[in-house]
Amino acid sequence: MSRPAAIEVVGISKRFGTVVANNDVSLSVAAGSIHGIVGENGAGKSTLMSILYGFYEADAGEIRIAGAPRRVRSPADAIAAGIGMVHQHFMLVETLSVAENVLLGAEGGALLKGGLKTARAALAGLSQDYGLAIDPDAIVGELSVGLQQRVEILKALYRGAEILILDEPTAVLTPPEADQLFVLLRALKAQGKTVILITHKLREIMDVTDRVSVMRRGEMVAHVATPETSPPALAEAMVGRRVLLRVEKQRREPGPPVLEAVGLSCRDARGTETLREVGLTLHAGEIVGIAGVAGNGQSELLEVLAGLIQPSRGVIRLDGQILTAADRHPARLRERGLMHIPEDRHRSGLVTAFSGAENAILGYQHDPAFRTGPLLSPARIAAHAREAFAAYDVRPPDPALKTAKFSGGNQQKIVLAREIERQPRVLLVGQPTRGVDIGAIEFIHRRLLALRDAGVAILLVSVELEEVMALSDRILAMCGGRITGERAGEVADERDLGLLMAGVTDEAA
């Protein structure tokens, strides 16, 4: 090798309490290359990058920049070492202008005037070099997500970053925006910069990286040159064993339609249309999966159907009856057999400060079975929880334990038990296996299929395309708040769905 590695990590370990986030991790990234790091959620990628950026100090190990050992104890150290970072959640001040954001921390003097002038000139130069046209006086909060990400990149470049780390950069981007980002990354590489790309999307790795490292459970398990690997091989390395792409599933004729939506549209607080004219029909005994990049209206679709937000237009029918605004209330819908496993259990599915037993009645607190007379009965609530925990193998089976102390998989099982035990006729399921260990994933998948076989109509939203493909009888792809196409579960393939998710509709093709 003629040039030393741009950045080298040797034997890094980091624990948080009893959790080992990184265990003896080593990595070498060649200068002037794009290096991908893949792994499942919780595999330790973000911790490693936080250590590189000085957010945390490693318990053991060494960081070498261009061959020389370097201590990176704070972001300031990292910046000084030429490391720039684009966080998944942008580190921007939305009320400030682009120039002020770029300047923050690199003002070049006590007064802003000189710095602003320099920054403007530099921004113009960077814009030319990389085709990153952006108005330095625009207020960041008013820019699109894609442009905000550019500001993050400009920030790093303005500080003289030679190594750029991007953490899940495409999670928030539309496919065209993602493509533009990749063009930019290649341009940076051409200028001799080093890029580290963290993602769990294998397509991106194959498209843009030169080499790829795989992390699993806090450890580095593989380093390979990208042309010498394939998505299945990477997936296997990530998960640790061959992924069952198809769950055992009987073909079944769907029953009558149960839930129908026609022309559903929805606006968010800012007035942006998040759902556009969505129509779908859910039959008894089928699983309909929604495929889409996060943020393309799937969450809103679930919330509208569950009665959590009101549509701006459109009609929802349950058992052929049109739901009025009064009907579209979570409590009323539950009474009619429409249950909902929310996408984010911490944000809405559970009250983590409550005991497991109290969470096992969330949403069903009005059930007289939990009362003696007018008062809630802790004994009855606990007995109900014990039963449910046993049926769903929640560990530890202790109804008095604070919910925050259960593991992610067991928390999800509490939610699942609560909603499924109520014998739903329609089940809305969001990200059923997010942050859940492998064993629990299989358990959850089997439960969902059993429900389908028992005649429940299930709508499944997941960012894991493989999950959607494995479980669904029919798949609807969403992009920009619209349904862009439908495929039967058996015939769907990843490439075809990817096009639909990118907004290439059947009509256009």
Partner 1 sequence: MDLLQLVALVLDSTIRLSIPLICAAMAGLWSEKAGVVDIGLEGKMLVAAFASAVASFVTGSAWVGLCAGILASLALALVHGFAAITWRGNQIVSGVAINMLAAGLTVVLGNAWYGQGGRTPSLEGAARFGDITLPFARWTREHVPGLGLLYDEVVSGHAVPAYLAFLSVLVTALVLGRTRFGLRIRAVGENPAAVDTAGISVARLRYAAVAICGLLCGIGGTYLATAQAAGFLPHMTAGRGFIALAAVIFANWRPWPALGACLLFGLLDAIAIRLQGVTLPGIGLVPVEAIQALPYLMTIVLLAGFIGKAAPPRASGLPYVKER
Partner 2 sequence: MSAAPVELPRWADTALVPLVSVVAALLVAGLVVIGIGENPLEATALLLRGALGSAEGIGFTLYYATNFIFTGLAVAVAFHAGLFNIGGEGQATVAGISAAIACAALGAVPGLIPGFLAAPLAILAAAAGGAFWAFIPGWLQAKRGSHVVITTIMLNFVAATLIVYLLREVIGKPGSMQPETPDFPAGAVLTPMHQFLAPVGIKLPPTPLNTAFLLALASLFAVWLLIWRTRLGYAIRTVGANPRAAAYAGISPAAVTMIAMAISGALAGGLAVNEALGVQHRLVLDFTAGYGFVGIAVALMGRGHPVGVGLAALLFGVLYQGGAELSFDKPTITRDMVVVIGGVLILFAGALDGLFRRLVAGALRLGESSS
- State yes or no: residue 350 binds partner 2 (CB under 8 A): yes
Q: Which does 363 bind (CB under 5 to 8 A by kind): partner 1, partner 2, none?
A: partner 2
Q: Which positions touch partner 1 (CB under 8 A)?
A: 16, 46-47, 50, 53, 55, 74-79, 85, 87, 89, 91-96, 100-101, 103-107, 109-113, 115, 155
| Phi, then psi, of 495 in degrees rounded to 5 | -65, -45
Q: Which does 340 bind (CB under 5 to 8 A by kind): partner 1, partner 2, none?
A: partner 2
The Cα–Cα gap between 418 and 354 comes to: 15
The Cα–Cα gap between 427 and 341 comes to: 8
ω into 169 cis (within 30 of 0): no
CB of 266 to partner 2, least distance (A): 16
CB of 16 to partner 2, least distance (A): 5
CB of 486 to partner 2, least distance (A): 29
Among residues 124, 145, 351, 379, which is the contact residue for partner 2, using CB under 8 A?
A: 351
Residue 238 in tokens:
């990530």
Q: What is the dihedral of CA 184, 180, 178, 149, to 10 degrees?
A: 60
- State yes or no: residue 342 binds partner 2 (CB under 8 A): yes
- State yes or no: residue 363 binds partner 2 (CB under 8 A): yes
Cβ proximity of 357 and 399 under 8 Å:
yes
Residue 260 in tokens:
């129908």
Question: How far, in Å, are 219, 429, 431, 509 from residue 235 at the CA level?
Answer: 15, 24, 19, 30
Nearer to partner 1, 164 or 469 (CB): 164
> Measured over all CA atoms, what is the biggest interatomic distance in the chain, rounded to whole angstroms?
81
| Phi, then psi, of 118 in degrees rounded to 5 | -60, -45
Point out which span in 110-118, 209-217, 349-357, 495-503 binds partner 2 (CB under 8 A): 349-357
CB of 288 to partner 2, least distance (A): 22
The Cα–Cα gap between 324 and 86 comes to: 45
CB of 239 to partner 1, least distance (A): 23
Kindly give the residue spans of alpha helices, DSSP state H, lying in 336-483: 356-359, 378-391, 408-420, 438-453, 465-471
Nearer to partner 1, 48 or 449 (CB): 48
CB of 155 to partner 1, least distance (A): 8
CB of 70 to partner 1, least distance (A): 15
Nearer to partner 2, 348 or 505 (CB): 348
CB of 55 to partner 1, least distance (A): 7
Q: Which does 347 bind (CB under 5 to 8 A by kind): partner 2, partner 1, none?
A: partner 2
Within positions 291 to 310, which residues make up the interface with partner 2, using CB under 8 A? 306, 308
Among residues 191, 321, 365, 423, which is the contact residue for partner 2, using CB under 8 A?
A: 365
**DSSP for 286-340, written as a single string:** -EEEEE--TTSSHHHHHHHHTTSS--SEEEEEETTEEPPTTT-SHHHHHHTTEEE
Among residues 42, 146, 257, 330, which is the contact residue for partner 2, using CB under 8 A?
A: 330
The Cα–Cα gap between 416 and 421 comes to: 8
Q: Which positions touch partner 2 (CB under 8 A)?
A: 16-17, 306, 308, 329-332, 334, 340, 342, 347-354, 358, 362-363, 365-366, 374-376
